[in-house]
Amino acid sequence: MKIGELAQQSGLSASSIRFYEAQGLIPKVERLGNGYRRYPPQVLQTLNIIRSAQQAGFSLEELKQLLPAAGTGEFKHEELVEGLTRKVEQIEVMQQHLAQSKARLLEVIDSIQSKPEGMSCGANAERVLASIYPES
């Protein structure tokens, strides 16, 4: 299939597809006599894997390590499992950090909302900031 059709089916731009090809994430493809690229149907599957993996937080460099070497079509089982496991661990650490940040923000919101009666907004802001960043 030509790049325009592949772009339409994958939801990616033609320039993204050319970039992935240049980066070695998809195999170099044959060119027709008119210079057009002709992509085999399995490239669509690889592009879908790349999009999904990027949405899960994989970098292009990480993807290069996980995807089959160009032209072979074969995944390296151990490397694939190790790379996916590493990403799950990174996501879990990120989730812990996000949960801590969320808890801190909820405490700040509660502190702001429990403003003493009659206190000005500016004084309340100073009070909340002092509780977050106490002077040493």
Which DSSP string do the residues of 58-89 spell out, in sequence order?
--HHHHHHHSPPTTT----HHHHHHHHHHHHH
DSSP reduced 3-state for 2:
coil
Task: State in words which class domain 1-75 has.
Answer: mainly alpha
Q: For 54-65, what is each residue's pLDDT tens digit?
A: 988 899 888 888
Please list the residue range(s) of the chain that carry CATH number 1.10.1660.10. Answer: 1-75
Q: For 30-55, what is each residue's pLDDT tens digit?
A: 888 888 889 988 899 889 989 988 98
Q: What does the alpha-carbon distance between residue 110 and residue 107 come to, in Å, rounded to a whole number?
A: 5
Structure token pair of residue 56: 């899960």
> Are 95 and 89 a contacting pair, CB within 8 Å?
no
